[in-house]
Homo-oligomer: A and B are copies of this chain.
Amino acid sequence: MFGDDAVSRSLGIELLEFGDGRSSASMRVTDSMVNGHAVVHGGYVFLLAETAFAYACNSRGPATVTTGAEISFVAAAEAGDLLIATAEERTRFGRNGIYDVTVRRGDTVIAEFRGRSRTSGRVEGEA
């Protein structure tokens, strides 16, 4: 659960809410996260989304890894913007889960992320 803390701290990511397959987390865009066009590098938006995703997954159990993700960049964000990522479980099956994360600045959607997780522990009902 607290595995990502060092990364989160270095990026200023704060966990706002967490539990029952959901989470939300915030990050303020800093000057070191923007590129020459003054817009945030998409990778930092991904980092925030993936952090919220990991919190949401880990609310279900301790040993979950991200196996992959799809992200669509919807709008640009700039230095100083406060981004909030909201993660929600979409479905779970066997050791696998799919979670959707929306990253927003206020009401504006910045990115839509869909992550795939896999649990390494034993799963009920598995052969």
Give Cα A90–Cα B115 distance, bound, in whole angstroms: 15
Q: A70-B68, A72-B67, A100-B100 are in contact. Are A41 and B50 (CB under 8 A)?
A: yes
Which residues in B have their C-beta under 8 angstroms from that of A34? Answer: 6-7
Question: How far apart are the CA atoms of A87 and B32 in the complex, in Å?
Answer: 24
Mark interface residues in A27-46 (1 if CB within 8 Å of B CB, else 0): 00001111111000111101
**Contacts of A91 on B, CB cut-off 8 Å?**
74, 102, 109, 112
Q: Which residues of A contact B (CB under 8 A)?
A: 2-7, 10, 31-37, 41-44, 46-47, 50-51, 65-75, 90-91, 93, 96, 98, 100, 102, 109, 112, 114, 116
* 18 A-B interface contacts by CB (under 8 A): A2-B36, A3-B36, A4-B36, A4-B41, A6-B34, A7-B33, A7-B35, A42-B50, A46-B46, A67-B72, A67-B73, A68-B70, A68-B116, A69-B71, A70-B70, A75-B93, A91-B112, A93-B109
